[in-house]
Amino acid sequence: MAAPADQASSKHFVLVHGVCVGGWAWFKVATRLRDAGHRVSTPDLAASGVDPRPLREVPTFRDYSKPLLDLLLSVPPGEKVVLVGHSFGGVSIALACELFPEKVAAAVFVSAFMPDHRSPPSYVLEKYKKRRMDWMDMEFKPQDPEGKLPISIRFGPLVTRAKFYQLCSPEDLTLGRSLMRVGSMFVDDLKLQPPYTEARYGSVRKVFIVLKDDNAIFEGFQRWMVQNYPVDEVREIHGADHMALLSTPDELARCLAD
């Protein structure tokens, strides 16, 4: 568990979930950080967690990330937060850094997709999709015949257990399966967006946490992202699957509290 923070070193962490889950996925890490004296926010992005909107009402990545952007907008002038993105949440915190760099003390990518400032934000997602991987019973489906809405993603029970939660407890796997929703990675929309800028996104201190036993975003691809866009610091967590939020919460909370 993270060591208690005094008032001067207490931070405001904003923990951003990945695709198809919600802020609930951070419950173990959030509890540890709060117990250590930090303030923690775990927003549900649009059509995620307990957000009532269905995916078809969230046509763009900006719409999807709006709850996070609204939270940053509400941060008082002069205050800064530590943004933490897991998995697809990395693209959302990158957008938040681009729009509000003055409100971000650091951006932490936990085995997360990390855009650079040379390519459209979709670049790392497209590189990832080109890797050979057995997606088992994961479903990718159009939401409408015209193809105007983003492609939806649904995780089946086999891929969830084998690729994402393989080191989690049976209880955590059951929780994850019961709370999972249909999501999207908005790749076509992100292809149309300009690169995030060096002056804004590039100015924010960045940390990447490598999850050594991640079967979804393999360690090799995590390290490729760091090579593609070097960060200020790289940490590692051994024995962590993709859902380190649930499988290794003590280690992850300690990394963040540092």
User: What are the tens digits of pLDDT across the range 181-198?
Assistant: 999 999 999 999 999 999
Number of other residues whose CB lies within 10 A of the CB of residue 3: 10
Report, as residue numbers or ranges, the catalytic residues.
87, 214, 242
**Closest C-alpha to 107, from 243, 233, 240, 249:** 233
Q: Where are the domains of the chain?
A: 12-257
**pLDDT value at position 8?**
59
Which residues in the chain come in under a pLDDT of 50? none
Angle 195-126-88 (CA atoms, 0-180°, nearest 5)?
A: 75
**pLDDT value at position 7?**
59
**pLDDT value at position 154?**
96
**pLDDT value at position 131?**
83
**Encoded tokens for 92:** 């959302």
Distance of CA 169 to the CA centre of its chain: 21
**pLDDT value at position 135?**
86
Side chain identity, residue 176: G
**Encoded tokens for 194:** 């300009």
**pLDDT value at position 132?**
73
With beta carbons less than 8 A apart as the criterion, state whether 37 and 105 touch.
Answer: no
Side chain identity, residue 195: P
**pLDDT value at position 9?**
78
**pLDDT value at position 1?**
54
**pLDDT value at position 3?**
55
Report whether CATH 3.40.50.1820 matches the domain 12-257. Answer: yes
**pLDDT value at position 2?**
59
